[in-house]
A and B are shown apart, each in its own frame.
Chain A
């Protein structure tokens, strides 16, 4: 195989060498453009008819200028849409970050917060709080429930995986824990009456309708905190990609790092589940796509996943509020549909090239 691949590689290589700086610049510019334009453009979409001119005027007024725009439009944009966009960005960034780290630390391109049962644990915690306390339970207690559920699932995975924290055992444990919590959640749903069940479904399907300026701080802080730590450890993380033993030989404390990253990942995921319910597949798809785009820049995969994931989620949320006339589609439904298509594509590619 290599005798054929090698000459091909060398030929492609020389062509690539010439295009590479241009390609890098293109990627960088696209990223910045997306990051800046997405919030501005996406805020124009929604039930109310608000144009880009209106948005421009609103921002201008915000910066102290004078502009003519109706108060209600301003309120909708500033108090409903912007918080929602920010929450969507945070959720997309956080989940993608979590997925990227989990994939790296387990060397498994199919790892994501769902795989380790973190999301289902958090959902279960939230669902349990709502089911027992009632639909009027406070945000704090629901968040707390999600945290405890997420932490519990991590503890279970780690204890089931055993002392060595070997990847295969961890993945199997994660799948088992995920099934366990999913069925527990299903049980709770089953035992509640239909209207409460509909409410609980939110925690399983996800939505950004609850976004407001006062519930953005916690997710933002936690994501920033986790991002900083992930970036700090990006070098040892990339060392793990070449094997546990290889990483140990490079001085990396593999097991400690793995558990630490898993715990941090669960903190991140539980926070997001508590704010917007369970949203799947994002942590799986985004790092995949980003890795393909940033082929020669693996050190930027973490940041790239965060940015791309955040932007992606902003637009998914646009779909969530625009696809159905005058009503909302749960975000988790859209990501699940995209995720299954994505999976099929990946499978097709693999079986084609294998």
Chain B
């Protein structure tokens, strides 16, 4: 099955204030894949993601979406292709759940274009898909972490991108909501790139995994190839046992807590 390359990263190097944060990163993501990014804190995961959704400009190298350098066209055009779900949500100044979800239309609308009835129908449908109907007029910042992520998911779905990038989306969530979010995302007809802290989640949901350390891409491949005891020992400096998950055929990571 020949899937097209949706996102291609070529020799990406990025400096911030004279410090090299990312060095010579090369990889590509095919359409339809669910790709995970793992690595210790400070490895450069977020910085790399920011290069992909056009916030950080590469110092060297390039990022291409569907064959075109993302810096060749406007932020708005890029936002039609790529949506992002971040881990932190700032003070909203009184926005309701509906308002936040409606933001998903921003890249698709011209300056004076108002919401059409079709838009409103779409939004209503999405709200029910993420089970937030009862909260549709609630202030966004009064929601729980899990609920906020569902709102952002609905917003991303309204944005209707080809690629969904998620920066540590499960961080502040309870286990139930972590699993629920990832299950929902997996069901979407979108290519996904998400970074994880929880290695087991990464192993369970991803088709392939990027292992980032000190700004370098150390490994990229199927979970069973990247998540190995050696890699984890070296990178995370912790003792692990990697075997196969008893219920599925993806790796299971078990940590050794005692000496």
Contacts and interface: CB of A to CB of B under 8 A. Distances in A.
Interface stretch (A172-180, A229-237, A315-323): A229-237
B interface residue count range (under 10 / 10 to 19 / 20 to 34 / 35 or more): 35 or more
Contacts of A168: none
Interface string A204-246: 0000000000000000000000000001110110110111011
Contacts of B112: 231-232
B57 interface: no
B55 A253 contact: no
Interface in B95-139: 95-96, 98-100, 103-107, 109, 111-113, 134-135, 137-138
B74 interface: yes
B109 A246 contact: no
Given A13-B134, A248-B54, A251-B106, A241 B77 contact: no
Interface in B9-56: 50, 53-55
A104 B93 contact: yes
A9 interface: yes
A79 interface: no
B84 interface: yes
Q: Which of B78, B94, B107 has the largest count of A CB atoms less than 10 A from its CB?
A: B94
A251 B135 contact: no
Interface string A306-331: 00000000000000000000000000
Given A238-B103, A251-B78, A232 B89 contact: no
B99 A238 contact: yes
Interface in A94-120: 103-104, 107, 109
Interface in A254-292: 291-292
Given A231-B112, A242-B100, A251 B74 contact: yes
B94 A298 contact: yes
Interface class of chain A by DSSP: helix
Nearest to A254: B75
Given A2-B143, A232-B112, A235-B106, A243 B90 contact: yes
Q: Which of A235, A243, A248, A251 has the largest count of B CB atoms less than 10 A from its CB?
A: A251
A5 interface: yes
Given A103-B93, A251-B79, A16 B106 contact: no
B95 A298 contact: yes
Given A13-B134, A249-B82, 8 more contacts: A231-B112, A242-B100, A242-B103, A243-B90, A245-B86, A296-B96, A296-B98, A298-B94
Interface of B: 50, 53-55, 74-80, 82-84, 86, 88-96, 98-100, 103-107, 109, 111-113, 134-135, 137-138, 142-144, 147, 159
20 contacts: A2-B143, A2-B147, A9-B134, A13-B134, A13-B137, A103-B93, A107-B93, A235-B106, A238-B99, A243-B86, A243-B89, A245-B84, A248-B55, A249-B79, A249-B82, A249-B86, A251-B80, A251-B106, A296-B137, A298-B94
The 6 closest A-B pairs by CB, nearest first: A251-B79, A251-B76, A249-B84, A251-B107, A243-B90, A232-B111
